[in-house]
Structure 1
Amino acid sequence: MKAEYFKYLLKFKRPSGTSRGVLYEKETFILVISDDGKKGTGECAIFRGLSFDDRPDYEDKLKWLCENTDQDVEFLKDELKEFPSIWFGYEQALLNLKHGGKLYFPSEFTDGKSSMMINGLIWMGDVDYMEEQIQEKLAQGFHCIKLKIGVDWKSEHEILQKLRQKFSKDKLELRVDANGGFSKDEAEIVLQQLADLNIHSIEQPIKAGNWNDMAELCAKTPTPIALDEELIGVVDFNEKKKLLDHIKPQYIILKPSLVGGISGSDEWVSLAEQNNIGWWITSALESNLGLNAIAQYTFTKNSPMPQGLGTGGLFTNNFDSDLELKGDRLFFK
């Protein structure tokens, strides 16, 4: 087998706000593996400022993989355990090489016989911009909306109150994502305010790495807590088990590009289910190449919950999409 990669800069149509700042572009790397006249493509979707593998030797490791693609898979997996997005790109490329075309996980989804429900994502911004996005998602037919919060909680709280006055929890599921934006004391107040509005869950209310504080919050929270950034960089299976045993969250959220791809996500799902912890899968600003692979993988996990999959519509220069959104359901074209 031979391998090569190229860098690609995705440009946002509109600057996208998170509690970590405003995003204007997203760097990614496309990996192509060739064997016996066939090609397999995968995306190594590093997320600068968030990925565990955001480090100076990232491209050196990609070059190393391209020079060592013929090595044993388990050897490569061990060598790349601290480079989850590269490992995931490699997993994608191998699956694509095996199944050809745009396929990674052939299923009823890729046959066009089934679909998945996804949530609508509302980016941070001023009140008018957030309300504009919400109206758009509701008009499209979304039954589950996720709002980024943690920058201006007073305004964000008012938006949630207005939404809940218009739509009961049976009509509209509301999720929020704080990206670690609150202190523990603030989080305790916010968790109660969210419970009063029947909010489904809050992702990462406080910064990752504070296991004791997070465990305390999870033990007494009136609003279910989902771990997100908390999982990043936890690569050892026993350490994953220790984290879940200690914190005991209500949910975990899996971004394959950030938590070790397919094999890494499978480990988290297995541990979560053993501990009666709910989970769902989300994308992390991949191009349409990686998004396609994540969607196909997610379908095989048979989760009944709305998943956090993007639609590739954020960027001006994305690759052609194999996914199509009808209402709040994602289909493979």
Structure 2
Amino acid sequence: MSRIVGFRLDPYALPLKTPWRTAAGTVRLRHGWLVRVEDEDGGVGLGDQPALLPDQEQGGLETRLRHQGDALLGRSLGEALDWPDLCFGIETALLDLEAQRQGVPLRRLLSPTAEDRVKVNAVAPLDGIVAMAEQGFGIVKVKVGLAPWPAEVAALRRLNLPPGVMLRLDANRAWSRIEAEGFLAAIVDLPIESLEEPLREADITGLASLQSTTPIALAIDESLDQIGVDSLLIDPPVRRLVLKPALLGGLRRTLSVAASARAVGYDIVVTTYIESAIGVAAVANLAAALDPEARMAHGLATSALFVSDVAEPLPIASGVLTLPASPGLGLSLKVSN
């Protein structure tokens, strides 16, 4: 098998159209690193390693990436893919190379049953929900917990949504138990698909108790690391897990966790970590592999948040993302850094 002869890491800084609020802080400029791996046959694989939010200086992560990339030089592609604890961006680049070598899209390297299209949710502020619904998105994600919850309930009730459109709400751990209960009781008759991270103090017991009070699916996202995957698989406290490959340890690790979680009853949504078009393409290929039936809308429509990007984003129309048929990721960079 061909050996790795080149490794390159190029930092990027992508401006956001509007500031993006996360559980870790507000982001205006998204940082990360483009990963390029080259084999002795001239093949080039691409990956994206986004900085940890809230996007502060990540010297430690960059050092880890460089050490790991240098350690793979001279090794076969198979040996490199077996390297323990590969960073997301490096694993993606290696898988891109391997998929190109086999002549298949990355998604079919991950699963032979992967499809070419993935359902996605839109992302919008409260005053932009209707516009996204009118563009054909069946699921629109909106942040809540930014104002007193009664005011947000009133705003949600004022919406005039097209029939069949559902809202995916994300509270980013904004509320106490009492506030979360009040909010959930007040929206139970609205078209709510799920509510992510309602509790400020997230633990298995508290989440399970809150889920028992509502028919709305609760979801765990950023609390996954705090609670731990193994604990969540023993006795699911909520109905859904939101998985970010950039944080979970890569595409293959996420695929494994998703399979285990589904086996105990979870619904699975995969989402980006607000990375470049290269990272979005990697996560989209994963979504196509783990959800060929398109049962869920995944969090992949984040390229629209950027003023500019490192590659042409994958096309999305009426809530469906279409993946390229070419081998590997199927994307190329706009410019060579």
Q: Which moved more, 1:9-18 or 1:175-184?
A: 9-18
Specify whether residues 114 and 201 from structure 1 end up closer, same or farther in structure 2 by C-alpha distance, changes over 3 A only: same
Deviation at 1:269, TM superposition (A): 1.0
Deviation at 1:284, TM superposition (A): 1.7
Deviation at 1:248, TM superposition (A): 2.3
Task: Judge conservation of contact 2:140–2:167 (CA < 8 Å) in 1.
Answer: yes
CA distance in 2, matches of 1:211, 1:321: 41
Deviation at 1:106, TM superposition (A): 4.5
Q: Which runs of 5+ in 1 are unaligned?
A: 81-86, 108-112, 124-129
CA distance in 1, matches of 2:233, 2:210: 14
Aligned to 1:213, what secondary structure does the other structure show? helix
Instruction: Find the counterpart in structure 1 of residue 88 from structure 2.
Output: 88
Deviation at 1:181, TM superposition (A): 0.9
CA distance in 2, matches of 1:122, 1:74: 37
Instruction: Deviation per CA, 1:224-257: give whole Å up to 9, x if none.
Output: 10110121367xxxx5232232452111111111
Instruction: Deviation per CA, 1:105-141: give whole Å up to 9, x if none.
Output: 358xxxxx84222111114xxxxxx31x223212211
Return the match for 1:326 from 294, 303, 317. Answer: 317
Instruction: Deviation per CA, 1:149-198: give whole Å up to 9, x if none.
Output: 011123321222123x6445xx1111101111111221111121222324
Instruction: Find the counterpart in structure 1 of residue 332 from structure 2.
Output: none
Specify whether residues 20 and 89 from structure 1 end up closer, same or farther in structure 2 by C-alpha distance, changes over 3 A only: closer
Aligned to 2:12, what secondary structure does the other structure show? strand
Specify whether residues 60 and 19 from structure 1 end up closer, same or farther in structure 2 by C-alpha distance, changes over 3 A only: closer
Task: Judge conservation of contact 1:26–1:47 (CA < 8 Å) in 2.
Answer: no
Instruction: Find the counterpart in structure 2 of residue 217 from structure 1.
Output: 210
Identity %: 27
CA distance in 1, matches of 2:185, 2:135: 30
Specify whether residues 25 and 241 from structure 1 end up closer, same or farther in structure 2 by C-alpha distance, changes over 3 A only: same
Pairing 1:179-190 to 2, within 5 Å after superposition: 179-190=172-183
Task: Judge conservation of contact 2:301–2:316 (CA < 8 Å) in 1.
Answer: no
Task: Judge conservation of contact 1:120–1:137 (CA < 8 Å) in 2.
Answer: yes
Return the match for 1:270 from 250, 256, 259. Answer: 259
Instruction: Deviation per CA, 1:57-109: give whole Å up to 9, x if none.
Output: 2111111112101464476324x5xxxxxx211221012112339953358xx
Specify whether residues 7 and 267 from structure 1 end up closer, same or farther in structure 2 by C-alpha distance, changes over 3 A only: same
Aligned to 2:305, what secondary structure does the other structure show? coil
CA distance in 1, matches of 2:82, 2:226: 19
Task: Judge conservation of contact 2:165–2:191 (CA < 8 Å) in 1.
Answer: no
| AA aligned opposite 2:10 | F
Q: Which runs of 5+ in 2 are unaligned?
A: 110-114, 325-337
Return the match for 1:195 from 181, 188, 193. Answer: 188
Instruction: Find the counterpart in structure 2 of residue 66 from structure 1.
Output: 69
Return the match for 2:155 from 154, 159, 169. Answer: 159
CA distance in 2, matches of 1:102, 1:15: 37
Deviation at 1:321, TM superposition (A): 1.9
Instruction: Find the counterpart in structure 1 of residue 329 from structure 2.
Output: none
Specify whether residues 305 and 247 from structure 1 end up closer, same or farther in structure 2 by C-alpha distance, changes over 3 A only: closer
Instruction: Find the counterpart in structure 1 of residue 46 from structure 2.
Output: 41
Specify whether residues 208 and 96 from structure 1 end up closer, same or farther in structure 2 by C-alpha distance, changes over 3 A only: farther
Deviation at 1:12, TM superposition (A): 0.7
CA distance in 1, matches of 2:200, 2:70: 38
Instruction: Find the counterpart in structure 2 of residue 149 from structure 1.
Output: 144
CA distance in 2, matches of 1:117, 1:273: 18
Instruction: Find the counterpart in structure 2 of residue 134 from structure 1.
Output: 129
Task: Judge conservation of contact 1:322–1:332 (CA < 8 Å) in 2.
Answer: no
Q: Which moved more, 1:68-77 or 1:293-302?
A: 68-77
Deviation at 1:209, TM superposition (A): 4.7
Deviation at 1:291, TM superposition (A): 0.6
Q: TM-score, normalised by structure 1?
A: 0.82
CA distance in 2, matches of 1:231, 1:117: 23
Task: Judge conservation of contact 1:119–1:328 (CA < 8 Å) in 2.
Answer: yes
Count of residues paired in the alignment: 306
| AA aligned opposite 2:95 | L
Q: Which moved more, 1:178-187 or 1:192-201?
A: 192-201
Task: Judge conservation of contact 1:19–1:149 (CA < 8 Å) in 2.
Answer: no
Task: Judge conservation of contact 1:215–1:246 (CA < 8 Å) in 2.
Answer: no
1:205 aligns with 2:208: no
| AA aligned opposite 2:88 | F
Instruction: Find the counterpart in structure 1 of residue 333 from structure 2.
Output: none
| AA aligned opposite 1:122 | A
Specify whether residues 103 and 95 from structure 1 end up closer, same or farther in structure 2 by C-alpha distance, changes over 3 A only: same
